[in-house]
């Protein structure tokens, strides 16, 4: 039997508490960590499904920052490229109806499949790329030749910026002769009136320029698409901000306006008299 002195020394604070109120939910602290990479991945997937993501070929894993290219472009065939271009168009035109968007899209037959090209899509390899994918049904005609008509090139190379066009022109001078020019057709440091005069008096085999300036030269009647056989879009190249020609709204919209000109679009994929569209 406990003594009274023991009872007096009993610590009440250590006595059992009354039964807990089970009417309130008990919050439990879960002991696990969430993988932030997984969350980002799920957010990325959600963005793409909603049309707000960057698109099929814009994952950082496909970007070769050392060479300044997006390697995914070269891995896609004509069908995938057509879908990818459509995604890029829709990305900057969220308010257009489906009918209006369809008018902006390129048909699959327009894009030449160059996915068999196994070299990096850099300017250094562009001349060899041109040689390989120039049509064989044109007989002995060479890339260093040109129509006798002035301002009527057989090839147009479209770049996102003037500086890039200048670099491309230096690379493609291997196709220039005394009679045939590889022409720089961009706005940087060249006034439109001066460009018009130059094009009207020059035999051009290959023209390199930006979308807006090419449109201006076509509208002015200086540049002709009558003898055009191919259009090459400098598509794999990315700038320091990891942007390609389809990633800049104003440039992309000018590019699509150029590609969708009826005089060009009606000839895409039409064989000998048609125009090949190549995404380099």
Task: Count the neighbouring beta carbons within 10 Å of the beta carbon of residue 164.
Answer: 21
Closest CA to 93 of 273, 206, 249: 249
Rg of the chain taking only CA atoms, in angstroms? 31
Q: Report the pLDDT value the prediction gives residue 61, as an integer from 0 to 100.
A: 85
Q: Report the pLDDT value the prediction gives residue 47, as an integer from 0 to 100.
A: 44
3-state class of 77 per DSSP? Answer: coil
Task: Count the neighbouring beta carbons within 10 Å of the beta carbon of residue 277.
Answer: 24
Contacts of 76 (CB under 8 A, 6+ apart): 56, 57, 84, 115
Q: Report the pLDDT value the prediction gives residue 49, as an integer from 0 to 100.
A: 39
Closest CA to 247 of 58, 108, 65: 58
DSSP secondary structure, 193-229, as one string = HHHHHHHHT--EEEEEE-HHHHHHHHHTTSS--TT--
Cα(2)–Cα(19) distance, integer angstroms: 26
Paired tokens of 212: 């807006």
Tally of CA atoms within 13 A in the half-sphere of 112 that contains its CB: 25
Q: Report the pLDDT value the prediction gives residue 6, as an integer from 0 to 100.
A: 47
Cα(121)–Cα(71) distance, integer angstroms: 8
At which residue do the structure tokens 């891995």 appear?
A: 75
Q: Name the burial class of residue 129, with classes exposed (0-12), middle (13-18) and buried (19+) by CB atoms within 10 angstroms of its CB.
A: middle
3-state class of 196 per DSSP? Answer: helix
Cα(214)–Cα(42) distance, integer angstroms: 41
Closest CA to 278 of 91, 62, 74: 74
Could you report the per-residue pLDDT of 60-84, keeping only the tens digit for each? 788 999 999 999 999 999 999 999 9
Q: Report the pLDDT value the prediction gives residue 18, as an integer from 0 to 100.
A: 46
Pick out the chain residues at pLDDT < 70: 1-59, 136-141
Tally of CA atoms within 13 A in the half-sphere of 9 that contains its CB: 5
Cα(128)–Cα(255) distance, integer angstroms: 24
Paired tokens of 238: 């990315």
DSSP secondary structure, 8-20, as one string = HT--GGGSPPPPP
Do 96 and 104 contact (CB within 8 A), yes or no?
A: yes
The pTM for the full model equals 0.77
């Amino acid at each position: 039997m406990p003594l009274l002195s023991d009872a007096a020394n009993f610590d009440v604070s250590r006595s059992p508490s009354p039964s807990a109120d089970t009417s309130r939910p008990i919050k439990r602290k879960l002991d696990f960590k969430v993988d932030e990479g997984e969350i980002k991945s799920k957010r990325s997937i959600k963005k793409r499904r909603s049309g707000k993501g960057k698109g099929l070929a814009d994952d950082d894993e496909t970007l070769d920052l050392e060479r300044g290219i997006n390697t995914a472009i070269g891995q896609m065939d004509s069908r995938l490229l057509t879908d990818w271009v459509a995604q890029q168009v829709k990305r900057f035109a969220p308010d257009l109806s489906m009918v209006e968007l369809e008018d902006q899209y390129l048909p699959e037959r327009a894009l030449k499949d160059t996915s068999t090209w196994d070299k990096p899509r850099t300017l250094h390899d562009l001349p060899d790329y041109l040689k390989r994918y120039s049509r064989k049904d044109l007989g002995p005609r060479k890339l260093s030749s040109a129509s006798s008509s002035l301002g009527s090139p057989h090839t147009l190379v479209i770049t996102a910026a003037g500086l890039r066009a200048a670099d491309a022109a230096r690379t493609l001078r291997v196709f220039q002769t005394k009679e045939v020019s590889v022409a720089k057709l961009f706005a940087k440091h060249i006034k439109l009136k001066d460009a018009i005069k130059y094009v009207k008096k020059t035999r051009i085999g290959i023209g390199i320029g930006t979308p807006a300036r090419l449109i201006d030269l076509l509208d002015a009647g200086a540049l002709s698409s009558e003898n055009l056989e191919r259009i090459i879009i400098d598509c794999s190249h990315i700038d320091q901000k990891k942007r390609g020609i389809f990633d800049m709204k104003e440039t992309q919209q000018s590019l699509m306006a150029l590609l969708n000109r009826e005089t060009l679009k009606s000839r895409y994929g039409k064989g000998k008299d048609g125009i090949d569209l190549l995404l380099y």
